[in-house]
């Protein structure tokens, strides 16, 4: 008799190498990730705080969007030449989407930098905070600005890979088991589901 193998059983999966488990999932390396996390988090928090407290209010406040407008206009000048620093599609995004809503994006950048910094320093949802930090780094790089962005982008990608252990010396040590991750419910939701099940059984 021909018995079909379930689709899930036929799925091929490459096992995680030992070195990958050591680097990105072993709590013995949590102190290393703590140092990386604090450095990147401080840089983001400092950058966001400077924007928030800017005396001229060019990021948030009376002149919100002025600094970002100048930044975008500078990026748009880098689209010329055979190998431009800013590609055409990204220039189009800056010109058509960002520039008309400079005040909104200015506030988003400021708040985003502060939240990423706080998340990394506290070790709360470290992987998510690092992802959005790296996303901002990528946008600054696409806009033709190098500065410290490559230095922050590289450890941000590492922190995303090490999300299981990067926040071990932080709030993730309690938050992740409590809340769970996509596809795996944490203890908080398991208890809630158990209570709902008991309530239905009593009806």
Per-residue pLDDT tens for 143-167?
999 999 999 999 999 999 999 999 9
Q: 54 burial class (0-12, 13-18, 19+ CB within 10 angstroms)?
A: middle
Residues 127, 195 within the same domain? no
pLDDT value at position 114?
A: 98
Cα atoms in the 13 Å half-sphere on the side-chain side of 135: 12
Query: What SS3 state is found at 56?
Result: coil
Pick left, alpha or beta for residue 194 (phi over 0 → left; psi -120 to 50 → alpha; otherwise beta). alpha
Name the least confident of 2-6, 17-21, 39-43, 86-90.
Answer: 2-6
Instruction: Give the number of domains in the chain.
Output: 2
Domain of residue 183: give its range: 174-203
| DSSP classification of residue 145 | -
Residues 133, 198 within the same domain? no
Residues 107, 188 within the same domain? no
Query: Structure pTM?
Result: 0.87
Distance (Å, whole) CA 142 – CA 84: 11
Residues 164, 183 within the same domain? no
Residues 153, 179 within the same domain? no
């Amino acid at each position: 008799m021909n018995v079909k193998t379930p689709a899930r059983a036929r799925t091929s999966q490459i096992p995680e190498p030992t070195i990958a488990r050591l680097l990105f999932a072993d709590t013995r390396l949590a102190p290393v990730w703590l140092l990386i996390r604090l450095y990147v988090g401080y840089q983001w928090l400092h950058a966001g705080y400077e924007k928030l407290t800017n005396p001229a209010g060019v990021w948030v406040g009376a002149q919100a969007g002025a600094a970002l407008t100048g930044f975008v206009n500078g990026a748009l000048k880098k689209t010329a030449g055979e190998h431009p620093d800013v590609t055409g599609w990204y220039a189009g995004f800056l010109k058509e989407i960002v520039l008309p809503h400079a005040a909104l994006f200015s506030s988003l950048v400021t708040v985003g930098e502060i939240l990423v910094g706080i998340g990394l320093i506290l070790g709360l949802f470290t992987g998510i905070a690092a992802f959005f930090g790296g996303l901002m780094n990528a946008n600054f790089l696409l806009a033709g600005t190098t500065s410290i962005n490559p230095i922050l982008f590289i450890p941000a990608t590492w922190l995303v890979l090490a999300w299981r252990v990067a926040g071990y010396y932080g709030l993730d040590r309690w938050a992740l088991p409590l809340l769970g991750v996509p596809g795996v419910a944490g203890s908080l939701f398991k208890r809630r589901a158990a209570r709902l099940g008991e309530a239905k059984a009593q009806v």
